[in-house]
Amino acid sequence: MKVVPGASRSEMSGWLGDMLKIRVSAPPENGKANAAVEALLAKKLGVPRSAVTIIAGKVAQRKVVEIQGLSLSEVMGKLKLGDKRA
């Protein structure tokens, strides 16, 4: 996924090729943007915040996220993004 910190609002922006783009209003300092990404994903997926973890790219715009308790197809279905890839 690609994360854009410091946005005017937090939202799922859609797809950039095969990468999900997420905008968060939190600044990219002291892990605030990462925490905002994890919280936004948890809320959208209906899972506890503790079930969402950034496992790679903590200091980069491109991140890899692990979501416990859901398969990839369940994540895609809950986000309703399965048919919006460019």
Give per-residue burial for 43-77: e unless 16+ CB within 10 Å, then b.
Answer: ebbebeeebbebeeeeeeeebebebeebeeeebbe
**Mean pLDDT (whole number) for 27-35:** 94
Higher confidence at residue 57 or residue 81? 57
Give the residue with greater pLDDT, 51 vs 82: 51
* This prediction's pTM: 0.86
**Count helices and strands in the chain by DSSP H and E runs:** 2, 5
Q: Is 7 helix (H, G, I), strand (E, B) or coil?
A: coil
Distance CA 22, CA 7 (A): 10
